[in-house]
């Protein structure tokens, strides 16, 4: 969700961390097809050093997506003043956080869905990381839905995920804005229909 | 929606058509970052000929997306035995057609959303074509919603589009299947809530 910045060039980060930070920034901004040269230049790391640390650019991509995950999840489901809220509010809060993130300059949608769309290869090591990120959010929705008394928690989670991913992708592509609460309102309608009140 | 095939090599198609057919096939299967060499090889056209016909690979991409649009739309909203159906059925039919397309081998989601996600540049000439395709579907939803008595047709269309795009992208990325009518059921819930019966 957040827009990662390139690693600081003050030099305290290790070459590995600089590669992962620069990778997270460039893959998100420009796509997974950016070249090794551009990646190493942004990280201030030689190609030789990169290949000593990682087997390939694909490995940097997978590792950078994995490294972002805790921050991504914390941003979506971080406790707010409604920490003790009911599952319904917790689910809606995710869609509100999405709208907040989407309003930031440089927002380009969910980095995990983007990686999957760009790689077009479910077996790619970075696709595996992205699938895991998506499964974790879906499972979180399912658990909240179950806790909230949904008639069919699995199905409700499967309905919420496309709303999340579609809203994120469309907002990232500047096809629509989420600033008026559109995604949360859609989620609320689905929660109503599933009996999560 | 459909999975375009590379141009027949029997040689009757013009170099221009062969480039557009091969482009539609390769951009969809492999992504917009495929090289000029691969494109020309698949089309059986020299690079020199390509640059005589198109200013750039980006222009081939934009033209190939534009050329696919009538077929894409016909596939989604083509008359079925319920041709005289109410707006609700016409809208739901789009989501049923999406599920049918998603079940085909080689399905990778909506080519227009994919181009936007991959290009990451709303001002790119191919992004303009993709935005137009998305706006046309959204406008079609809006018109149907209005015809069907929706309380707020614009808002309903804005809610249906992420469901469409999210379901298409997730199915194309093999994150979920639409074969059990998930997307149509989600759309039906939104139609219910908007008063389109």
- Indicate which CATH number applies to the domain containing B40: 1.10.10
**How would you classify residue A6: left for phi > 0, otherwise alpha for psi between -120 and 50, otherwise beta?**
beta
- Asked if residue A98 is part of any domain, the answer here is yes
Q: Where residue A3 falls among pLDDT bands split at 50, 70, 90? A: very low
Buried/exposed code over B150-160 (b: 16+ C-beta within 10 A; e: otherwise): beebebbbbbb
Q: Where residue B83 falls among pLDDT bands split at 50, 70, 90? A: low
Q: Write down the pLDDT at residue A12.
A: 78
| Residue whose structure tokens are 């096939």 | B25
**Residue B95 and residue B37 share a domain:** no
Query: Among the residues of chain A, which ranges form H helices?
Result: 15-30, 36-43, 47-53, 57-77, 87-102, 111-119, 125-147, 153-172, 182-194
- Asked if residue A21 is part of any domain, the answer here is no
* DSSP 8-state symbol, B195: T
Cβ contact, residue pair B163, A186, below 8 Å: yes
Overall residue count recorded for chain B in this entry: 197
**Residue B87 and residue B43 share a domain:** no
Q: Is the pLDDT of residue A71 over 50?
A: yes
pLDDT digits (tens, 9 = 90+) for A90-118: 999 999 999 999 999 999 999 999 999 99
**Residue B153 and residue B114 share a domain:** yes
Q: Write down the pLDDT at residue A6.
A: 47
**Residue B90 and residue B136 share a domain:** yes
Cβ contact, residue pair A162, B186, below 8 Å: yes
- The shortest CB-CB distance from A163 to any of B155, B163, B174 is to B163
Q: Is the pLDDT of residue A55 over 80?
A: yes
**Residue B157 and residue B136 share a domain:** yes
**Residue B70 and residue B56 share a domain:** no
Q: Where residue B24 falls among pLDDT bands split at 50, 70, 90? A: very high
**Residue B70 and residue B43 share a domain:** no
pLDDT digits (tens, 9 = 90+) for A13-39: 999 999 999 999 999 999 999 999 999
Give the dihedral of Cα atoms A8, A9, A10, A14; nearest 10 deg. 80
Number of compact structural domains in chain A: 1
**Residue B174 and residue B102 share a domain:** yes
- Asked if residue B7 is part of any domain, the answer here is no
Domain span holding position B74: 66-194
Those residues of chain A whose CB sits closer than 8 Å to some CB in chain B are: 29-31, 33, 108-109, 113-114, 116-118, 120, 122, 127, 131, 134, 155, 158-159, 161-167, 169-170, 172-176, 182-183, 185-186, 189-190, 192-193
**Residue B55 and residue B93 share a domain:** no
Q: How far apart are CA A70 and CA A78, in angstroms?
A: 11
* DSSP 8-state symbol, A8: P
**Residue B115 and residue B25 share a domain:** no
Q: How far apart are CA A4 and CA A56, in angstroms?
A: 21
- The average pLDDT across A163-174 equals 98
Spatial CA neighbour of A76 closest among A92, A94, A90, A91: A94
Q: Write down the pLDDT at residue A124.
A: 98
Q: Write down the pLDDT at residue B3.
A: 46
Coil/strand/helix, residue B172:
helix
Write out the two tokens for B94: 């789009």
CATH number at residue B84: 1.10.357.10
Q: Write down the pLDDT at residue B2.
A: 44
- Asked if residue A185 is part of any domain, the answer here is yes
């Amino acid at each position: 969700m957040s827009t990662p910045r390139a690693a600081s060039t003050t030099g305290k980060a290790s070459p590995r961390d600089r590669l992962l930070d620069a990778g997270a920034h460039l893959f998100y901004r420009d796509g997974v097809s950016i070249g090794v040269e551009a990646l190493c230049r942004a990280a201030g790391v030689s190609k030789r050093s990169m290949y000593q640390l990682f087997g390939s650019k694909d490995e940097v991509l997978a590792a950078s997506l994995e490294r972002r995950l805790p921050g991504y999840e914390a941003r979506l489901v971080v406790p707010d003043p409604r920490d003790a809220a009911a599952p319904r509010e917790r689910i809606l809060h995710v869609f509100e956080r999405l709208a907040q993130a989407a309003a930031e300059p440089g927002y380009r949608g969910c980095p995990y869905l983007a990686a999957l769309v760009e790689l077009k290869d479910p077996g790619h090591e970075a696709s595996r990381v992205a699938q895991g990120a998506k499964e974790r959010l879906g499972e979180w929705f399912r658990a909240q839905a179950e806790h909230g008394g949904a008639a069919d928690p699995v199905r409700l989670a499967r309905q919420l995920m496309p709303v999340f991913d579609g809203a994120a992708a469309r907002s990232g592509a500047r096809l629509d804005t989420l600033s008026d609460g559109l995604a949360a309102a859609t989620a609320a309608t689905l929660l109503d229909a599933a009996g999560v009140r």
